[in-house]
Structure 1
């Protein structure tokens, strides 16, 4: 799809995003297949031509089934950012640009991606316009969101320029926690930050939404203590890795060392029903590393480490699991 870039007339932008106007026209925003009604309801054309003509090629993925539209995010970020990479940050922060795209050539996409949210005034203001004059609007507006995710994650130094982009899009909560914060405006900071999370995920550490929020707050804390723009990326990355390990260790703690000689172990090895006891969600599990004999206490509910097998529920004493590339033997289930 190629198109001319237009912007909204300021007065018409205010007219169209007025809550009363939106309330009276919710059905049009959310259900009308054609956007002809936009110009028809305005006193004059709300669109103003710019110098950018025949822009593209943008191909928007709208193939995911209802309820899973978010799965198209990466393909669409890649398409929009690749086509509009020439925009400056200042231009790309302009509501008139993105509102014109949302009400113009990207109108069907907005309805597809955010259809459920377009049943309310606030939802329409968020995804067609900028609801607030702050950074959050850049990731809530349907079109601006695609460009800015690309802008803050695209990395020409990587073999796959969009590797970090794909990682962020696969974790929608990260967009809220990371991209919407002021510290994310600099790839020098975001690159090592995301690299640390990506690498540790590959190493088997699983972070949830709350963990992601904690990491984002920690990055802000570092920003208050150091001039992050001048700190080496390797330093930033190592700080984030250390924090990730600190968070992950909450699901693991050293277990009291028990006699480890073969004879002593045989003396305390459970038999009968105890030997056949299986791990449940609420179990406390003692494992021993095959490399250094160190023991750890695991609680499946609190685990932030990916294990092999993926679920340890149902395993028994003497079964083996892998955590962060190390082999462990289950020696006790409580």
Structure 2
């Protein structure tokens, strides 16, 4: 299937005029966007084709985040990391191909503020953080950084986010080093092990903070790129067990 992006001028116009267009973000159709730009098509067609996909909607969106993450990454694995950091792609998908998905996802919010539209439909913060707060790009990026083709189930690490998806995502991916796939895989493998072996700290925010804090310290002494995912895993497990009070 073909997907669409917002042309740069169109992106800037929609972003700048969110306050005056905010009522349209409850519309069931995105026809208002075409009307807004009159005779100019605000969208461009991506040269790369992706597999057909349809994201799932439920009354409680958090229950479908993991499934949708796997769906969108499976369909769009062939786009590059550079393309996947482009606001025009995700804002374009929101305002075109995935308009109905976003309307359904946010339909219970009757009085969305401009800042919420900015954050959910565009990149409302710096690029790195926006990748994990934007409603669509975060689904792709979680799977991108956890997908491991060498495992029997390539999405085994992705499924770590099945519970507490948003909390885990924002805490774990808020650090610069998480762009390194070996670090990401090592961290999540370590967290999975610790949570399975020590039930008293299962899904503890303190665990995430301690593990990521340790990686920051480690990264200040060593170049993390030189470590394998197994080495990262073992270092984190050893640190949590021997140098924190989380495990009693």
TM-score (norm 1): 0.68
Of residues 235, 239, 245, the one that matches 1:239 is: 235
More helix by percentage: 2
Secondary structure in 2 aligned to 1:158?
coil
1:107: which partner in 2? 99
Instruction: Quote the Cα distance in structure 1 between the aligned partners of 2:245 and 2:126.
Output: 39
1:77: which partner in 2? 69
2:184: which partner in 1? 190
Instruction: Quote the Cα distance in structure 1 between the aligned partners of 2:42 and 2:74.
Output: 27
2:42: which partner in 1? 46
Compute the displacement of 1:112 (Å): 2.8
Q: Is the 8 A contact 2:4 2:46 kept in 1?
A: yes
Instruction: Quote the Cα distance in structure 1 between the aligned partners of 2:142 and 2:246.
Output: 31
Which of structures 1 and 2 has the larger relative contact order (alpha carbons within 8 angstroms, sep 6+)? 2
List aligned pairs for 1:1-334, cutoff 5 A.
3-18=1-16, 21-29=17-25, 31-43=26-38, 44-53=40-49, 55-62=50-57, 64-65=58-59, 68-115=60-107, 116=109, 119-172=112-165, 173-205=167-199, 206-246=202-242, 249-250=245-246, 252=248
Compute the displacement of 1:229 (Å): 1.0
Instruction: Quote the Cα distance in structure 1 between the aligned partners of 2:218 and 2:110.
Output: 35
Compute the displacement of 1:230 (Å): 0.9
Secondary structure in 1 aligned to 2:245?
helix
Compute the displacement of 1:217 (Å): 2.1
Alignment CA distance shift 1:153-1:219 (3 Å):
same
Count of matched residue positions in the alignment of Structure 1 and Structure 2? 243
Instruction: Quote the Cα distance in structure 2 between the aligned partners of 1:35 and 1:212.
Output: 40
More strand by percentage: 1
TM-score (norm 2): 0.90
Q: Which stretches in structure 2 are left out of the alignment for 5+ residues? A: none
RMSD between aligned residues? 2.0
Q: Which stretches in structure 1 are left out of the alignment for 5+ residues? A: 253-334
Compute the displacement of 1:211 (Å): 2.9
Alignment CA distance shift 1:248-1:113 (3 Å):
farther
Larger radius of gyration: 1
